[in-house]
Amino acid sequence: MQIFNTPIEYLKGVGPQRAEVLKKEIGVFTYQDLLHYYPFRYIDKTRYYKINEIGFDFPLVQILVRLKSFEVIGEKQSKRLVARVVDETGELELVWFKGLKWIEKTLKINHLYVVFGKPTFFNGKPQMAHPEMELFSKESKERGNLSLQPVYSSTEKLKQFSLDSKGIQKLMSNLLDTVFSEIEEVLPSYILEKYKLLSRRDALLQIHFPTNSTVLSRAQATLKFEELFFIQLKLLKIKHLRTLKFKGNVFATVGNKFNYFYENLLPFQLTGAQKRVLKEIRFDSQKGIQMNRLVQGDVGSGKTVVALMSMLLAIDNGFQACMMAPTEILATQHYASIKSMLPDDFVNIALLTGSTKKKDRKKILEDLVIGTLNILVGTHALIEETVVFKHLGLAVIDEQHRFGVEQRAKLWKKNLIPPHVLVMTATPIPRTLAMSLYGDLDVSVINELPAGRKPIQTIHLYENQRLRMFGYMRREIAKGRQVYVVYPLIQESAKLDLKNLQDGIEVLSREFPLPQYKISIVHGQLKPDEKEFEMQRFIKGQTQIMVATTVIEVGVNVPNASVMIIENAERFGLSQLHQLRGRVGRGSEQSFCILMSKDKLSKEGKVRLETMVKTNDGFEISEVDLQLRGPGDIEGTQQSGILDLKLADLTQDQNILHEARKTVLEIMEADPELQNAEHQILGNFFHKHNTGITLDKIS
**Contact residues for Mg ion (CB under 5 A)?**
555
Q: Which is nearer to ligand ADP, 559 or 630 (CB)?
A: 559
The residues in 670-689 that bind ligand ADP, with binding defined as CB under 6 A, are none
The residue whose Cβ lies closest to Mg ion is 555
3-state secondary structure (DSSP) of residue 665: helix
Whether the CB-CB separation of 4 and 179 falls below 8 Å is answered with yes
Please name the residues in contact with 322: beta carbons below 8 A apart, sequence gap of 6 or more. 375, 376, 377, 378, 382, 389, 392, 394, 395, 396, 411
Interface stretch with ligand ADP, choices 298-306, 532-540, 603-611, 689-697 (CB under 6 A):
298-306
Main-chain dihedrals φ then ψ at residue 425, nearest 5 degrees: -130, 135
301 binds, among Mg ion, ligand ADP, none (CB under 5 to 8 A by kind): ligand ADP
Pairwise CA distance, residues 255 & 251, whole Å: 10
Pairwise CA distance, residues 311 & 393, whole Å: 9
Q: Which is nearer to ligand ADP, 87 or 298 (CB)?
A: 298
The residues in 448-477 that bind ligand ADP, with binding defined as CB under 6 A, are 450
Main-chain dihedrals φ then ψ at residue 454, nearest 5 degrees: -90, 135
Q: Count CB neighbours of 155 within 10 A.
A: 13
Closest CA to 411 of 425, 398, 397: 397
Q: How far is the CB of 478 from ligand ADP (least distance, A)?
A: 23
Q: Which is nearer to Mg ion, 224 or 586 (CB)?
A: 586
Whether the CB-CB separation of 476 and 483 falls below 8 Å is answered with yes
3-state secondary structure (DSSP) of residue 677: helix
557 binds, among ligand ADP, Mg ion, none (CB under 5 to 8 A by kind): ligand ADP
Main-chain dihedrals φ then ψ at residue 645, nearest 5 degrees: -50, 130
DSSP character at residue 417: S
Q: How far is the CB of 556 from ligand ADP (least distance, A)?
A: 9
415 binds, among Mg ion, ligand ADP, none (CB under 5 to 8 A by kind): none
Q: Which is nearer to ligand ADP, 158 or 277 (CB)?
A: 277
Q: Which is nearer to ligand ADP, 300 or 439 (CB)?
A: 300
271 binds, among Mg ion, ligand ADP, none (CB under 5 to 8 A by kind): ligand ADP
Give kind and range of the element (H or E) at residue 421: strand 420-425
Pairwise CA distance, residues 272 & 581, whole Å: 24
Bridge partners of 633, per DSSP, are: none
> b or e along 444-459 (b: 16 or more beta carbons within 10 Å of the residue's beta carbon)?
bbbbbbbeebeebebb
Binding mask 128-147 for ligand ADP (x = CB under 6 A): --------------------
559 binds, among Mg ion, ligand ADP, none (CB under 5 to 8 A by kind): ligand ADP
Q: Which is nearer to ligand ADP, 93 or 280 (CB)?
A: 280
Q: How far is the CB of 422 from Mg ion (least distance, A)?
A: 13
640 binds, among Mg ion, ligand ADP, none (CB under 5 to 8 A by kind): none
Interface stretch with ligand ADP, choices 19-27, 295-303, 345-353, 589-597 (CB under 6 A):
295-303
Main-chain dihedrals φ then ψ at residue 276, nearest 5 degrees: -60, -45
3-state secondary structure (DSSP) of residue 232: helix
Question: Does residue 616 bind ligand ADP (CB under 6 A)?
Answer: no
Q: How far is the CB of 449 from ligand ADP (least distance, A)?
A: 8
Binding ligand ADP by CB under 6 A: which of 43, 305, 314, 698? Answer: 305
Please name the residues in contact with 427: beta carbons below 8 A apart, sequence gap of 6 or more. 399, 401, 575, 579, 618, 622, 635
Q: How far is the CB of 440 from ligand ADP (least distance, A)?
A: 23
Q: How far is the CB of 535 from ligand ADP (least distance, A)?
A: 15
Binding ligand ADP by CB under 6 A: which of 407, 557, 560, 690? Answer: 557
Pairing of strands 592-597, 561-566: parallel
Half-sphere exposure of 277 (CA within 13 A, CB side): 30
Q: How far is the CB of 273 from ligand ADP (least distance, A)?
A: 9
Evaluate the omega torsion of the peptide bond into residue 515 and state whether it is cis, within 30 degrees of 0.
yes
The residue whose Cβ lies closest to ligand ADP is 302
Question: Does residue 425 bind ligand ADP (CB under 6 A)?
Answer: no
Main-chain dihedrals φ then ψ at residue 619, nearest 5 degrees: -70, -40
Q: How far is the CB of 396 from ligand ADP (least distance, A)?
A: 11
Question: Does residue 559 bind ligand ADP (CB under 6 A)?
Answer: yes
Question: Does residue 292 bind ligand ADP (CB under 6 A)?
Answer: no
Binding ligand ADP by CB under 6 A: which of 301, 320, 458, 663? Answer: 301
Chain-centre distance of CA 483, in angstroms?
31
Question: Does residue 419 bind ligand ADP (CB under 6 A)?
Answer: no
Question: Does residue 303 bind ligand ADP (CB under 6 A)?
Answer: yes
Pairwise CA distance, residues 485 & 583, whole Å: 11
The residue count for binding ligand ADP (CB under 6 A) is 18
The H-assigned helical ranges of 93-251 are 100-106, 138-144, 156-160, 165-179, 189-195, 200-208, 213-245
Binding ligand ADP by CB under 6 A: which of 210, 297, 419, 631? Answer: 297
The residues in 244-283 that bind ligand ADP, with binding defined as CB under 6 A, are 268-271, 274
Chain-centre distance of CA 411, in angstroms?
24
Largest CA-CA distance found in the chain, in angstroms, rounded: 96
Q: Which is nearer to Mg ion, 270 or 459 (CB)?
A: 270
Vertex 464: Cα angle to 462 and 465 (nearest 5): 70
Interface stretch with ligand ADP, choices 292-300, 405-413, 456-464, 532-540 (CB under 6 A):
292-300
Taken in order 136, 139, 144, 145, is the CA torsion positive or negative?
positive
Q: How far is the CB of 229 from ligand ADP (least distance, A)?
A: 34
Whether the CB-CB separation of 61 and 44 falls below 8 Å is answered with yes
Binding ligand ADP by CB under 6 A: which of 119, 210, 300, 585? Answer: 300
Pairwise CA distance, residues 114 & 126, whole Å: 17
297 binds, among ligand ADP, Mg ion, none (CB under 5 to 8 A by kind): ligand ADP
Helix axes 603-614, 618-629, angle to 10 degrees: 170
Q: How far is the CB of 429 from Mg ion (least distance, A)?
A: 16
Q: Which is nearer to ligand ADP, 304 or 332 (CB)?
A: 304
Q: How far is the CB of 424 from Mg ion (least distance, A)?
A: 7
Q: How far is the CB of 267 from ligand ADP (least distance, A)?
A: 7
268 binds, among ligand ADP, Mg ion, none (CB under 5 to 8 A by kind): ligand ADP
Question: Does residue 302 bind ligand ADP (CB under 6 A)?
Answer: yes
Q: How far is the CB of 450 from ligand ADP (least distance, A)?
A: 3
Q: Which is nearer to ligand ADP, 248 or 636 (CB)?
A: 636
Radius of gyration of the chain (CA): 31
Binding mask 567-596 for ligand ADP (x = CB under 6 A): -------------------x----------
566 binds, among Mg ion, ligand ADP, none (CB under 5 to 8 A by kind): none
Contacts with ligand ADP, residue ranges (CB under 6 A) = 268-271, 274, 297, 299-305, 426, 450, 557, 559, 586
